Structure 1
Amino acid sequence: MKPDWKPLDEELARWHDNGLRLRLWWRDDDAISVTPALNRLAALATRLGLPVHLAVIPALVRPDLADWAASHPQIVPVVHGWAHENHAPASEKKAEFRLHRPVEDIEADARAGLARMSEVFGPAVRPMFVPPWNRIAPEVVQTLPALGYRVLSTATPRKTPLAAPGLEQVNTHLDPIDWRGSRSAIDPQRLIRQITGQLADRRQGDADNDEPYGILTHHLVHDEAIWTVVEALMERLTSAPYHPWTVERKEDRQ
């Protein structure tokens, strides 16, 4: 049975009727090298005209990714932790940047992440920090501005516009993957209900509409069901009135 996109289409029509434009952004996690899936992601981004913030694992990045990114203007490299290594005990959820080791070591990894990405991508890298598994200790967040980061991105609606002084919080809000179940696409009707409700809350003033609305994908694990949902969703969002949002270069903020 084909998904019924009518509820989302109707909500987007309400945005149009109210003269509203959605600030939309896209983040894709866990990139290391060029793959067929990454080429498919870039082709979709190019067709839609919407940049993808590619969260790259600094310790594992391969040089071929830099040349490839340079020839794909819709790709925006950002820092995805350091090595995507879990330091949490088995009794806790996975995390690389929570307080499971000395803060000095964690800060060193965050610093190394931006340095490595700058070495590989040069000025193309944007000063956004994306902690693996979207988890980071508040104590670590406070250190990020001094390391050169200007934006922190995790998941779910932000509580405040600033995660720390000088550090904007811009999260993702919708993930199409059923991580705790099939690890394929979530039920499309569930996804449609979720995004329709989120957009209605923003339109009615019940949620922070100043925060760019973020779609989160993981190209390396996409099967055809996930690609189908992502493509259908993004085509609708980019066909409605919207403003694409991207992280500014560090020098553009100065």
Structure 2
Amino acid sequence: MTPDWTALDQELARWQEAGMTLPIWWRDDDAIAPTPQLERLLALSEQLSLPVHLAIIPRDATPELAKRLSGTAAAIPVVHGWAHENHAAPDQKKSEFGADRVVDDALDDAERGLKTLERLFGSGLQPMFVPPWNRLSEDLEPWLAGLGYSALSTFTPRSQAKAAPGLLRVNTHLDPIDWKGTRSLVARTLLLSQLVKQLADRRLGKADNDEPYGILTHHLVHDDAIWAFCEDLLRRLLAGPARPWVFEERKS
């Protein structure tokens, strides 16, 4: 099914008429090893000239992944929690770093994740913390900078630029996967209406346009419909007012 891009095209035209620029970034979660899906992700990143911030699960990350990413500008390694294990109570939403955990234990895992990936990726790793399921107890936020992180990324528009002193918040905003239903592509009309509303809010000053607009993907579970929509969307944005944003706290 071909999506109707009319409303998005009209919104992007309004951005250009206003002389506005949309910073965009791309985050993809759950990498641990080289796979055919990863190759497809990297190839698309190179075609678009839009680096993908690859949120890697530290406990399971392989040396082969580090070797594959070495020297490529297509992927930027960041830290995806520790083990991507649920520590929440059965009646709570899944989380690895939620309120159900002892703070010291959670911080130990966050620090272990950073140090593990630093050993694998060296200065190529960027110190961004991406909690699994995009959930993080507020009690942990003030401590992350002290562990060596300088950015935190979850989901939905941020309310302020800093999550805590020394900790930039850069969230993602659009997830194309229907996690609770088909696990294929969310209805295109729903995705596009959400996107248009978010862009209009930024253009009208109702949301923070200094925050890069984040596209969230999960390459390991994409079907062809998800791949096709993401490629079409990113090409459309980049042909308009969007400009790539990259987190570069550390220089390789």
1:57 matched to which residue of 2? 57
Distance between the aligned counterparts of 1:95 and 1:168, measured in 2? 21
What is the deviation of 1:154? 0.2
2:102 matched to which residue of 1? 102
**Secondary structure of the corresponding residue to residue 8 of structure 2:** helix
What is the deviation of 1:70? 1.3
Paired amino acid for 2:145: P
- Map 1:139-154; keep pairs closer than 5 Å: 139-154=139-154
Any conservation in 1 of the 2:103–2:140 contact (CA below 8 Å)? Answer: yes
Q: Mind listing any 5+ residue stretches in structure 2 that lack a counterpart?
A: none
1:23 matched to which residue of 2? 23
What TM-score, normalized by structure 1, do the two folds share?
A: 0.97
Q: Give 4+ residue runs of structure 1 displaced > 6 Å after superposition.
A: none
Any conservation in 1 of the 2:33–2:64 contact (CA below 8 Å)? Answer: yes
2:34 matched to which residue of 1? 34
Deviation by residue 1:208-235 (Cα, 9 ceiling, x = unmatched): 1111100000000001111111111111
Sequence identity (%): 55
Q: Mind listing any 5+ residue stretches in structure 1 that lack a counterpart?
A: none
- Map 1:88-127; keep pairs closer than 5 Å: 88-127=88-127
Distance between the aligned counterparts of 1:241 and 1:34, measured in 2? 33
Paired amino acid for 2:81: G
Q: How many aligned positions are there?
A: 252
1:174 matched to which residue of 2? 174
2:74 matched to which residue of 1? 74
Any conservation in 1 of the 2:3–2:188 contact (CA below 8 Å)? Answer: yes
Any conservation in 1 of the 2:145–2:167 contact (CA below 8 Å)? Answer: yes
What TM-score, normalized by structure 2, do the two folds share?
A: 0.97
Any conservation in 1 of the 2:79–2:129 contact (CA below 8 Å)? Answer: yes
Any conservation in 2 of the 1:52–1:74 contact (CA below 8 Å)? Answer: yes
Q: Given the alignment of the two structures, is residue 157 of structure 1 paired with residue 154 of structure 2, yes or no?
A: no
**Secondary structure of the corresponding residue to residue 205 of structure 1:** coil
Distance between the aligned counterparts of 2:218 and 2:109, measured in 1? 23
Bigger mean CA deviation after superposition, 238-247 or 213-222: 238-247
Paired amino acid for 1:180: K
Any conservation in 2 of the 1:150–1:250 contact (CA below 8 Å)? Answer: no
